[in-house]
Amino acid sequence: MFDFKYYTPTKVILGRNTQERVAELIREFGGTKILIHYGGGSVVRSGLLKQVTDRLDADGISYVTLGGAVPNPRLSLVYEGIKLCKKEKVDFLLAVGGGSAIDSAKAIGYGVANEGDVWDFYSYKRTAKGCLPLGVILTLAATGSEMSDSSVITKEEGLIKRGYSSDFGRARFAILNPELTMTLPDYQTACGCTDIMMHTMERYFTNGGNMEITDSMAEALLRTVKKNALILYKDPKNYDARAEVMWAGSLSHNGLTGCGNDGGDWMTHKLEHELGGLYDVAHGAGLAAIWGSWARYVYKNCLHRFKRYAVNVMGITDEGNDEETALKGIEAMEDFYRSIGMPTNLRELGVNPTEEELRLMAKKCADGVGGEKGSARVLNEEAMLSIYRASM
Amino acid sequence: MFDFKYYTPTKVILGRNTQERVAELIREFGGTKILIHYGGGSVVRSGLLKQVTDRLDADGISYVTLGGAVPNPRLSLVYEGIKLCKKEKVDFLLAVGGGSAIDSAKAIGYGVANEGDVWDFYSYKRTAKGCLPLGVILTLAATGSEMSDSSVITKEEGLIKRGYSSDFGRARFAILNPELTMTLPDYQTACGCTDIMMHTMERYFTNGGNMEITDSMAEALLRTVKKNALILYKDPKNYDARAEVMWAGSLSHNGLTGCGNDGGDWMTHKLEHELGGLYDVAHGAGLAAIWGSWARYVYKNCLHRFKRYAVNVMGITDEGNDEETALKGIEAMEDFYRSIGMPTNLRELGVNPTEEELRLMAKKCADGVGGEKGSARVLNEEAMLSIYRASM
């Protein structure tokens, strides 16, 4: 067991119509001039943006808006947001949307609160000394960014996708109304469930420091998401299942499911980030497409964890030797992905990289992690290439 | 499923020697003049208090000290602390100890930050508008007060024990060094494990609003504490078991294991508070002595939960009808209490109230909850008396 810090200051409000409390929460956390940051037109079309601005108008809180955050959010929009915030003297950010809007808002917050180029943080050149305070109205359960310390931004030049983590970026509040996620396409719901499970799986498949309370709560979370993802695949308007998944999304990435371990493996995420940088695929689908190949490449080096996962999460009856049990667990996980419409290889994901592109992704991935990385098994560039090839 | 708020701003630092970070954490949260509040002589004898003051001296942070917080902490000491803080212009409280020191510090914090008599909050006459910021160095895993919003104070006149809950009272940081709990007597360790389990059990045995993710994580926590309480009963110096229990103590009472439900039952706590007020028994032991009688009185009204508990926490093989399974679970829990040296009735607890005293406790308990209360089953004064009688 390793020492750990657990810090989740975000005030979470979960329930129907909770977006109506936005002005009260902004006031509680000291916001007076707000940048409302959102993504595509869905929050406009659904009327949510108007609900929010009506609340702020009624409460006399002034604001500016900036839309356009896209999946794999872009650095250029972050620069635009920073400029706008400085010009308008914004002192509080409100992200309305999913991970793209939240991550983009965090990057804007770092850019306003620190001198110099915000990309420095994402390229590991400097650490941030602060961030504008942030609130969230979540419309998509997936990235866990509403409670996490992390954000991921893509630099257009070279399509470089990089993450940055800092407690300064943790949201002051997060409004979770499960009903706001009901209009998502089924594919996006399934992508979200995949991403949520992966945030805990990345922490679970490690070779160092595991705690029983962390593991058993992680397994509880994973079983819950799996069960409710299947419910939502058939019944997308099921409120309780939406709420279970939404809350699991926040808990899965706020640090709880990694307390006491070595920080996690995270290589499935790193491998997917290169896919996302090159092809703009949905993050959750990219993770599903890579995971099986990653798991088969590493499981023998982390057998006790893959066996435990098979038994405690996938419900494999513990017969045969540990390797057989572990492999059955991996197969069952891929079956689960397919059962909610997720791909289990790149072909099913709809991309068909050339050998040269596979090599390029492996090189960028290795460069991005400083050569090699991983806890279940340390991967170098050659290992990354092998996994990409196996995922074709 | 009910709407919920989840708010746990406390920065938790768990690991060996983490008390050495106390000055850095106080600075991070803005403290400049500190009241160090502690209990009996054990933090003096162990050298912990000197370690803390050495750190503050080295960092140039000024402080005053106030010892004497006892189990079931007293209102008179709270008044003394408030006076001292006002006189010395204290702006940050540091509790060094277990729940007694922390709860007493919270009450001092309310008293300093609000006009009027602090007992008003504990007698439900007013709500607090603030609290002095608080940090904790925990030496006993039990009450969860280091992350919770609650505190319990006893008024000497009439021996009235009452709790007050407010987010203002949540600690800014909590230093958890499992080694600091290793010198506890075995009885206190077992009392702590009982209290920790009860904080989640009070939330678990309800008839309203349960969420699957909350339930399954609660069961994971309960299994972990049960397992590690048995380890510590045989091997009190086991670091990993101490850490599992210590972290479980914080998670058990920070709100996590109640998200989505109706707020919990809490009647075992209320019934024990009257015992604690009259007899000054160890809180955990009092809970263990009452729980079985409470459970047998209410289980038929909350059968689905008692059955689930029996199967998922106590490992009862689900044979026979639901009532039989539920009763087996209650018996197994009492066996567990006995196996770690905890009482399962008042005689074993070492108290022998007269019928008149039982009636007095039932009356005070009913008065304290405004007549009747409970979620597994609503209890009035007569029901409370029946449970007290059954626990003899």
Q: What is the CATH number of the domain that holds B30?
A: 3.40.50.1970
pLDDT above 90 covers a percentage of chain B that reads 91
Which of B118, B148, B180 is the last residue in one of the domains?
B180
A73-87, A192-206, B317-331: the lowest-pLDDT one: B317-331
Q: What is the structure's pLDDT at A209?
A: 87
Helix B381-390 to helix B283-298 angle (10° resolution) is 110
Same domain for B321 and B203: yes
> How far apart are the CA of A253 and the nearest CA of chain B, in angstroms?
15
Helices (H), chain B: 22-28, 42-45, 48-59, 75-88, 99-113, 119-122, 186-204, 212-234, 239-252, 267-279, 283-298, 303-312, 322-339, 346-349, 355-368, 381-390
Q: Given a cut of 80, is residue B150 above it in pLDDT?
A: yes
Q: What is the structure's pLDDT at B184?
A: 93
Q: What is the structure's pLDDT at B21?
A: 98
Q: Do residue A244 and residue B14 have CB atoms under 8 angstroms apart?
A: no
Q: Do residue B213 and residue A221 have CB atoms under 8 angstroms apart?
A: yes
Whether residue B5 lies inside any domain: the answer is no
Same domain for B308 and B336: yes
Whether residue A174 lies inside any domain: the answer is yes
Could you give the ipTM of this predicted complex?
0.95
Same domain for B228 and B215: yes
Nearest residue on chain B to A216, judged by CA atoms?
A: B220
Same domain for B216 and B339: yes
> How far apart are the CA of B244 and the nearest CA of chain A, in angstroms?
6
- Mean pLDDT (whole number) for A41-46: 92
Q: State the average pLDDT for chain B.
A: 96
Q: What is the structure's pLDDT at B37?
A: 98
> How far apart are the CA of A30 and the nearest CA of chain B, in angstroms?
16
Question: How many C-beta neighbours within 10 Å does residue B46 have?
Answer: 13
Q: What is the structure's pLDDT at A276?
A: 83
Contacts of A251 in chain B (CB under 8 A): 213
Categorize the per-residue pLDDT at A181 as very low, low, confident or very high, splitting at 50, 70 and 90. very high
Chains A, B: CB contacts under 8 A, how many? 103
- Mean pLDDT (whole number) for B347-353: 96
Q: How far apart are CA A257 and CA A252, in angstroms?
A: 6
Contacts of B3 in chain A (CB under 8 A): 13-16, 18
> How far apart are the CA of A1 and the nearest CA of chain B, in angstroms?
7
Whether residue B2 lies inside any domain: the answer is no
Q: Do residue B227 and residue A212 have CB atoms under 8 angstroms apart?
A: yes
Categorize the per-residue pLDDT at B319 as very low, low, confident or very high, splitting at 50, 70 and 90. confident
Question: Euclidean distance between the first and final Cα of chain B, in Å?
Answer: 37
Contact status of B244 with chain A (Cβ, < 8 Å)? yes
Q: How far apart are CA B262 and CA B214, in angstroms?
A: 12
Q: How far apart are CA A372 and CA A368, in angstroms?
A: 9
Closest in A3, A239, A248 to B14, CB measured: A3
> How far apart are the CA of B360 and the nearest CA of chain A, in angstroms?
41
> How far apart are the CA of A300 and the nearest CA of chain B, in angstroms?
26
- Mean pLDDT (whole number) for B177-206: 97
Closest in B3, B9, B219 to A14, CB measured: B3
Same domain for A233 and A167: no
pLDDT tens per residue across span A284-299: 999 999 999 999 999 9
Q: Determine how β-strand B4-14 pairs with β-strand A160-165.
A: unpaired
**CA nearest to A358, candidates A265, A266, A293:** A293
pLDDT tens per residue across span B87-116: 999 999 999 999 999 999 999 999 999 999
Residue B138's H or E segment, with its range, is strand B134-138
Categorize the per-residue pLDDT at A279 as very low, low, confident or very high, splitting at 50, 70 and 90. confident
Contact status of B14 with chain A (Cβ, < 8 Å)? yes
Closest in A13, A212, A239 to B5, CB measured: A13
What separation in angstroms does the CA of B305 have from each of A59, B297, B332?
A: 44, 14, 15
Same domain for B347 and B377: yes
Q: What is the structure's pLDDT at A280?
A: 79
The number of folded domains in chain A is 2
Same domain for A371 and A236: yes
Question: Residue A253: helix, strand or coil by DSSP?
Answer: coil
Categorize the per-residue pLDDT at B303 as very low, low, confident or very high, splitting at 50, 70 and 90. very high
Contact status of A15 with chain B (Cβ, < 8 Å)? yes
Q: How far apart are CA B10 and CA B14, in angstroms?
A: 12
Q: Given a cut of 90, is residue A159 above it in pLDDT?
A: no
Contact status of A18 with chain B (Cβ, < 8 Å)? yes
Contacts of A5 in chain B (CB under 8 A): 11-14
Q: Do residue B212 and residue A5 have CB atoms under 8 angstroms apart?
A: no
Contact status of B15 with chain A (Cβ, < 8 Å)? yes
Same domain for A30 and A158: yes
Whether residue A97 lies inside any domain: the answer is yes
Contacts of A6 in chain B (CB under 8 A): 11-12, 14
Categorize the per-residue pLDDT at B162 as very low, low, confident or very high, splitting at 50, 70 and 90. confident
Whether residue B353 lies inside any domain: the answer is yes
What separation in angstroms does the CA of A202 have from each of A206, A253, A267, A374?
A: 8, 10, 8, 10
Q: Do residue A221 and residue B217 have CB atoms under 8 angstroms apart?
A: yes
Contact status of A244 with chain B (Cβ, < 8 Å)? yes
Q: What is the structure's pLDDT at A153?
A: 94
- Mean pLDDT (whole number) for B332-337: 98
pLDDT tens per residue across span A323-352: 999 999 999 999 999 999 999 999 999 999
Same domain for B375 and B271: yes
Nearest residue on chain A to B228, judged by CA atoms?
A: A212
Q: State the average pLDDT for chain A.
A: 96
Same domain for B231 and B302: yes
Q: How far apart are CA B24 and CA B16, in angstroms?
A: 16
What CATH number corresponds to the domain at position B350?
1.20.1090.10
Residues 179-218, chain A, touching B (beta carbon < 8 A): 211-213, 216-217
Same domain for B156 and B73: yes
Q: What is the structure's pLDDT at A33?
A: 98
Contacts of B258 in chain A (CB under 8 A): none
Whether residue B3 lies inside any domain: the answer is no
pLDDT above 70 covers a percentage of chain B that reads 100
Chain mean position to CA A28: 27
Q: Do residue B244 and residue A212 have CB atoms under 8 angstroms apart?
A: yes
Contact status of B248 with chain A (Cβ, < 8 Å)? yes
Question: Most B CBs within 10 Å: which of A173, A213, A227, as the mutation test of the B interface?
Answer: A213
Q: How far apart are CA B308 and CA B194, in angstroms?
A: 19
Categorize the per-residue pLDDT at B127 as very low, low, confident or very high, splitting at 50, 70 and 90. very high
pLDDT tens per residue across span B225-268: 999 999 999 999 999 999 999 999 999 999 999 999 999 999 99
Helices (H), B75-211: 75-88, 99-113, 119-122, 186-204
pLDDT above 90 covers a percentage of chain A that reads 92
**CA nearest to A141, candidates A93, A106, A179, A169:** A179
Which of B139, B158, B180 is the last residue in one of the domains?
B180
Q: Which domain holds residue A58?
A: 11-180
Whether residue A4 lies inside any domain: the answer is no
Closest in A4, A220, A240 to B216, CB measured: A220
Same domain for A280 and A172: no
Q: What is the structure's pLDDT at A221?
A: 98
Which of B180, B206, B233 is the last residue in one of the domains?
B180
Q: Given a cut of 90, is residue A319 above it in pLDDT?
A: no
> How far apart are the CA of A86 and the nearest CA of chain B, in angstroms?
27
Whether residue A262 lies inside any domain: the answer is yes
> How far apart are the CA of B278 and the nearest CA of chain A, in angstroms?
36
Q: Given a cut of 80, is residue A277 above it in pLDDT?
A: no
Q: Do residue A213 and residue B224 have CB atoms under 8 angstroms apart?
A: yes
What separation in angstroms does the CA of A122 have from each of A166, B17, B18?
A: 11, 32, 30
Q: What is the structure's pLDDT at A162?
A: 86
Q: What is the structure's pLDDT at B159?
A: 78
> How far apart are the CA of B294 and the nearest CA of chain A, in angstroms?
28
